[in-house]
Amino acid sequence: DTEVTQTPKHLVMGMTNKKSLKCEQHMGHRAMYWYKQKAKKPPELMFVYSYEKLSINESVPSRFSPECPNSSLLNLHLHALQPEDSALYLCASSLTPAANYGYTFGSGTRLTVV
Amino acid sequence: QQQVKQSPQSLIVQKGGISIINCAYENTAFDYFPWYQQFPGKGPALLIAIRPDVSEKKEGRFTISFNKSAKQFSLHIMDSQPGDSATYFCAARKGTGNQFYFGTGTSLTVIP
């Protein structure tokens, strides 16, 4: 298995909703990442997990809450989002935190906040 | 500020032509330079990467040229095909830490 699987592929949520994004990989990668990507822009780093521990939080608002239950799974819990949070949310993983061979990205969750 | 500068923003090439995308950086601590290809509605996919101890790396129709003294690197796509139409991002990683800095992206359109 050489993939990063993200679910759901599309999500529409209201500003008062609570939802979660899920990311899974079975490549034995020990670092996992959440990125946010707006249209025609590069991905922006949100969170980094190294060996299931949060190692980087790029000053992301608390309405985004990451969770890494085990080495294969990464969640992003969403609550009280704003319309400007609408974006493509990408999960990525790398063999080690040093990412000497780059990232493997998932296909993303297209989030629309209404 | 933008750690990796990428140009052009968009590029139109005839089928069979050569596509060239350029990136420049300032931080000499960067030690790994990948290129990602992204199709609409998909996540970026690692295309090819280079380390600063080599000046060129070729994989099929894709070549990275690296100029360490000028702190520049570029992606060349030979015999460009309509299926190559996508957005391309260059990136750079510092030797310490695991964060990649992405360029702003180049939207490539290959006309049949």
Please write the tens of the pLDDT for every residue from A53-109: 998 888 899 999 999 999 999 999 999 999 999 999 999 999 988 888 889 999 999
CA distance A95 to chain B (A): 11
**Residue A100 contacts B, CB cutoff 8 Å:** yes
**Structure confidence at residue B97 as a pLDDT band (50, 70, 90):** low
Query: Is B109 exposed, middle or buried, given 0-12, 13-18 or 19+ CB atoms closer than 10 A?
Result: middle
Percent of chain B residues topping a pLDDT of 90: 88
B8 preceded by a cis bond (ω within 30 of 0) = yes
Q: What confidence tier does B75 reach under pLDDT thresholds 50, 70, 90?
A: very high
- pLDDT over 70 (residue A51): yes
Look at residue B104 and tell me whether its pLDDT is greater than 80. yes
List the single residue in A6, A41, A48 with the smallest CB-CB distance to B98.
A48
| Pick from B43, B93, B102: CB nearest A107 | B43
| Pick among A27, A36, A100 to test the B interface (most B CBs inside 10 A) | A100
Q: How far apart are CA A51 and CA A30, in angstroms?
A: 5
d(CA A74, CA A76): 7
What mean pLDDT do residues B21-29 have? Answer: 95
Contact A92 B34 (CB under 8 A): no
The model's confidence at residue B96, banded by pLDDT at 50, 70 and 90, is low
Q: Are A102 and B32 a contacting pair at CB < 8 A?
A: yes
pLDDT at residue B74 tops 90? yes
Asked if A69 has any chain B CB less than 8 Å from its own CB, the reply is no
pLDDT (0 to 100) of residue A113 = 96
What tokens were used for A74? 């990464």
Contact A45, A35 (CB under 8 A): yes
Peptide bond preceding A66 in cis form (omega within 30 of 0): no
- For the segment B65-83, the average pLDDT, to the nearest whole number, is 97
β partners of residue A34: A47, A91
